[in-house]
Amino acid sequence: MANRREKHGASTGQRRRSGDEIRPFRIEIPQADLDDLHDRLAHTRWPEELPGGDWSRGVPLGYLKELADYWRTGYDWRQQEALINQFSQFTTTIDGQNIHFLHVRSPEPNAAPLILTHGWPGSVVEFMQVIEPLADPRAAGGDPADAFHVVIPSLPGFGFSGPTHEVGWNTTRVARAWAELMRRLGYEHYGAQGGDFGALVSPELGRIVPDRIIGVHVNAASVGFIPLGPVDEADLAALTDTEKARLERTNNFRTEEFGYNMLQSTRPQTVAYALTDSPVGQLAWIVEKFKAWTHPAADLPESAVDRDQMLTDVMFYWLTRTAGSSADIYYENTHTGAWAPLTPSKVPTGVATFAVDVSIRRFAERSNNIVWWSDFDRGGHFAAMEAPDLLVGDIRAFFRSLR
């Protein structure tokens, strides 16, 4: 499936108009950029560390030294680059912004289009294990009636979409861009799925073009799916033990893990200098979240995700110099009111809640038309990497109910 290299547009029926150009794309990083990374890693200026060396103050020195050494001497970017380049990739310009995306058409003639959206600190790399099962379920031992034409864009300011060049790229503007992207691809009706920021963009897409959206499926959902303020006594009394545990995780997150959010929501440009200049800084900034947000949250992030795939995700930030522009989406959402109460959506919405997710149905129903809800006892924030079988199964089942 991954090796099929169709000429783009041969069977999509897309309608072109002036300025709609879609350009084939392959990732081809200059060797000089990789050599520069290796040199920087070799000459890292390491900080001191207090006794103990656990994760309570951040990434432990010993762990990060070992991981950075593996990144420099054991990790093979060219191998990862080739794996990603098996999938058809393109770029197009929407609303003045370059948009990079994967587009993998299913061999099944009745496949439904599906746009998948990642979040932070994710990238299109998150979806590598779910593309083929979604696009060609027959080859994966599934029902061909569950097939999708898969579209996976890089958020503006992330990865090979490159930095944003003007203010205002909040999740609402991204959703408008996705609607235009799907129009250019000739898809009149389609599903939307996403986690983290993707769980904001996908429902918003349903609010912007509700007549085109078959359904919205989310994981790692927060805004619009959790209480943003104090919970009143009536709601609290009605919560199940599982939901109370999710509320407690939300409260703990706000007190113990919200620092990155505050920095990126208020001073993304300042953060950009450190992360763009220091690969170890960029590595630590992202790897801490893989440790904190995966399940099981064991001694190492690699307990939950593949080490090479995690480093490839880091590379998408490092090689494209998008540490600052990816942080800008936090600033834009905070300063343009995108976190404000959401307009209720009538689009059928499904929620997959993995072991460390925090969504609570009674709050999600206040701004979403919840018709599907799944709870899983494994997997976490990066579900497509941690539990791809569960995520694929839930996406298939949700949209099967709507076809």
N residues, the chain = 403
Answer yes or no: are the C-beta atoms of 297 and 277 closer than 8 Å: no
Report the distance separating Cα 22 and Cα 8, nearest Å.
Answer: 8
Q: pTM for the complete prediction?
A: 0.94
- Alpha carbon distance 317, 153 (integer Å): 15
Radius of gyration of the chain (CA): 20
Can you give the pLDDT at residue 297?
A: 64
Q: Return the pLDDT at 233.
A: 92
376's tokens? 């899983």
Return the closest-CA partner of residue 305 out of 388, 204, 367, 377. 388
Buried b (16+ CB within 10 A) or exposed e, 46-78: eeeeeeeeebeeebbeebbeebbeebbeebebe
Two structure tokens written together for 110: 């009745």
pLDDT of 43 reads 98
Q: What is the pLDDT of residue 340?
A: 66
Backbone angles phi, psi at 11, to 5 degrees: -135, 15
Per run of 10 residues, the mean pLDDT along the chain (length 403 residues) is 35 54 98 98 97 90 97 98 98 98 97 98 98 97 97 98 96 98 98 98 97 98 91 93 94 91 96 98 97 82 93 98 97 83 91 96 96 96 97 98 93
Decide if 208 contacts 180 (C-beta within 8 A).
Answer: no
- Contact in structure between 313 and 142 (CB atoms under 8 Å): no
Catalytic residues: 196, 330, 381
Sorted by sequence, the CB contacts under 8 Å of residue 63 that are 6+ apart come out as: 300
